Structure 1
């Protein structure tokens, strides 16, 4: 499933876009979400061109007892009753953080959504299901506090990239996690998985460190856990992904369809495992239409 890759495709965009790409070349590799090296200043590069002016941002809201059980909330100023999105970063379950994903919170908040960007406990110290339980707990916090930050507690969406896509899908399709966290399944309107590893034998990869010793994929993979009342799913696949194999989304789609769950699987042209997520950033939407597909999905399934 995981094969480290940090290559950036050559840009064929117009000169203005090419200059933007050059400015952000470090930023594109910022959300690597797989344990590959990225420039020290990559985070600063992207954060420098993504302003939260005009947004209400609440940092380090605590949703659990662990040091990493914190999230940042991005809300449009003065918004009320807006859809609520929880975003979960990737990093092969061993790295990544919310600070590197300010661009995701800003981008979705500019679209009109109250957006939580969370941290979660990391492997190998914390193995499955710790990080999935954290996703459910963070969603519980978002629901409980939705009105105070301008959101609708019964209009929830969960979105994740790479390992975070696994967390997002598993937290919702497996009937256990939301039930244990006290989140009504009917309050979750949809799930967006971006280049997620939903169906693979982790025993064959270094990411086995994120799962229980002796664990069986049949007991862990989200495509084996689909509940009959799961909400609609959008599964986005990078055409040039050399990190997470496309069959993960194919298998997840088949499992959702077999359970009668609405699902859309779209392959985004030209992007790779990194740039499919980088394209969520408003200055980088020329890389691919990840952001617009997510917005269209939320608008289709949001409560009215």
Structure 2
């Protein structure tokens, strides 16, 4: 079989991946329904075969207090990662982000992908408390999946990035959930709105009436012993402004907390998370940035 055969084989694959990339790009400007469809296509092309997957583990009393766990088949003392989805705190579902669990499990990590209570019925800090409670569940059950309960990482995209950072950086939430501060090795925020005046946006319904940014924004709530942070910024993001990461970086540095802010060129608010999928890494380096950070800060 010569080069002609392989070129014919590669062409439909390239076309398929190109269609996935185009779907994600269109989703960034065409609404939640198209975004959901695009994410479902990404999930459909990233099989979990060979992984240990358990779904709908309950970490709290609410109907949405569920998470799915993805683990390498032979994991032993592996880092444990909690991923929090976005959706302006008003939508989104863990099922749409199975590709994140699959991708990080293939990298060797026990990964939890969670749901949380949604606004406007449940406003800040309900969804942050859910992130802390889910992390507690993952820690308590880490060894059953081959994970190290004292080697935890928390990450999230968009609103989920806010939840991840706030849950770890504000001393209140881990303490309330019973998660030792020393167990969390790092935080990865992906296009998160960590520092903005929500009162000017529709997302104000996710916060208490009469609240101010000083009362709810993660960059105002930094404990001095917070772990290292990686802040990933989509270079073409028009949904969450890059100033959020700049402000968060400045606050972390002022508090003496290690932080790396990385701008990923050509990615938008949706493709920056889509690039976590193993078959879409050609879009950008989101996945590799996450892996490099975890490997640099995991327990040895």
TM-based fold match above 0.5 = yes
1:301 Cα deviation from its structure 2 partner:
0.2
Asked if 1:133 corresponds to 2:132, the answer is: no
Asked if 1:198 corresponds to 2:199, the answer is: no
Q: Secondary structure at the match of 2:296?
A: helix
Structure 2 partner of 1:5: none
2:129 & 2:44 partners in 1: Cα distance?
Answer: 33
1:44 Cα deviation from its structure 2 partner:
3.8
Structure 1 partner of 2:98: 102
Q: Secondary structure at the match of 1:218?
A: helix
Change (3 A) 1:189 1:34: farther
Aligned residues: 291
Which one of the candidate residues 133, 149, 160 is aligned to 1:164?
Answer: 160
TM-score between the two structures when normalised by the length of structure 1:
0.92
Which one of the candidate residues 241, 265, 270 is aligned to 2:266?
Answer: 270
1:227 Cα deviation from its structure 2 partner:
0.5
In the alignment, is the contact (CA less than 8 A) between 1:279 and 1:290 conserved in 2?
yes
1:218 Cα deviation from its structure 2 partner:
0.2
Which protein is richer in helix relative to its size? 2
Q: Deviations over 1:128-161 (max 9, x none)?
A: 0000000000000000000011100000000000
Which one of the candidate residues 43, 66, 72 is aligned to 2:62?
Answer: 66
Which one of the candidate residues 238, 241, 252 is aligned to 2:234?
Answer: 238
Structure 2 partner of 1:38: 34
Q: Secondary structure at the match of 1:252?
A: helix
Structure 2 partner of 1:79: 75
Question: C-alpha root-mean-square deviation of aligned residues, in Å?
Answer: 1.9
Structure 2 partner of 1:188: 184
1:160 & 1:40 partners in 2: Cα distance?
Answer: 17
Specify the structure having the higher radius of gyration (Cα).
2
Structure 2 partner of 1:220: 216
Structure 1 partner of 2:6: none
2:26 & 2:150 partners in 1: Cα distance?
Answer: 33
1:157 & 1:76 partners in 2: Cα distance?
Answer: 17
2:130 & 2:30 partners in 1: Cα distance?
Answer: 19
In the alignment, is the contact (CA less than 8 A) between 1:135 and 1:168 conserved in 2?
yes
Q: Secondary structure at the match of 1:37?
A: helix
Which one of the candidate residues 295, 299, 302 is aligned to 2:295?
Answer: 299
Q: Secondary structure at the match of 2:152?
A: strand
1:23 Cα deviation from its structure 2 partner:
3.6
1:142 & 1:46 partners in 2: Cα distance?
Answer: 25
1:170 & 1:34 partners in 2: Cα distance?
Answer: 29
1:171 & 1:73 partners in 2: Cα distance?
Answer: 20
2:39 & 2:186 partners in 1: Cα distance?
Answer: 29
Change (3 A) 1:25 1:271: closer
In the alignment, is the contact (CA less than 8 A) between 1:33 and 1:92 conserved in 2?
no
Change (3 A) 1:34 1:229: farther
Q: Secondary structure at the match of 1:146?
A: helix
1:31 & 1:175 partners in 2: Cα distance?
Answer: 36
TM-score between the two structures when normalised by the length of structure 2:
0.93
Q: Deviations over 1:243-277 (max 9, x none)?
A: 00001000000110011100000000110111011
Structure 1 partner of 2:4: none
Q: Deviations over 1:111-138 (max 9, x none)?
A: 0000000000000000000000000000
